[in-house]
Amino acid sequence: MEDPIQGNYHLEISSPGAERPFFKVSQFEQFIGSTVLVNLFKAIDARRKITGLIMKVEGDIITLQDGDQVYEVPFDAMSKARLVPEYLFEKGGRSGK
């Protein structure tokens, strides 16, 4: 097969990695039991950021647990959400508060 690109080049391949962003409700369903960091358009219980364990997904409501607190967050209330790698918790590196 002939190379479609003329000349020398470097091919770089990347993956979403450990801190993968979430763009769909189905991603939350896929990662139930994992921890996410969620930024909100407007505060829920005086919080604009929540770092919590994904407990369940019902429709477009994602239930997150942060310690003793449980938050039911509508997907459309999230401005940004991403998976938080476990190694950051083992070292005490992140907090959503």
Give the whole-angstrom CA distance, residue 51 versus residue 94. Answer: 8
pLDDT of residue 36: 94
| Residue ranges in the chain modelled with pLDDT below 50 | 94-97
pLDDT given for residue 89 in this prediction: 55
What are the residues facing 63 on neighbouring strands? 56, 72
The pLDDT of residue 38 is 96
Tokens of 41: 């358009």
Q: For the chain, percent helix, then strand, then coil, each to nearest 5?
A: 15, 40, 45
Locate tokens 């940004």: which residue? 80
- Which pLDDT score is estimated for 3? 73
Q: In this predicted structure, what is the pLDDT of residue 18? A: 63
pLDDT score for 96? 45
Q: Which domains does the chain have, with CATH numbers?
A: 26-90 (2.30.30.180)
Whether the model clears a pTM of 0.75, i.e. scores above it, the answer is: no
DSSP string, 32-56: TTSEEEEEEEEEETTEEEEEEEEEE
Token reading at 81: 């959400």
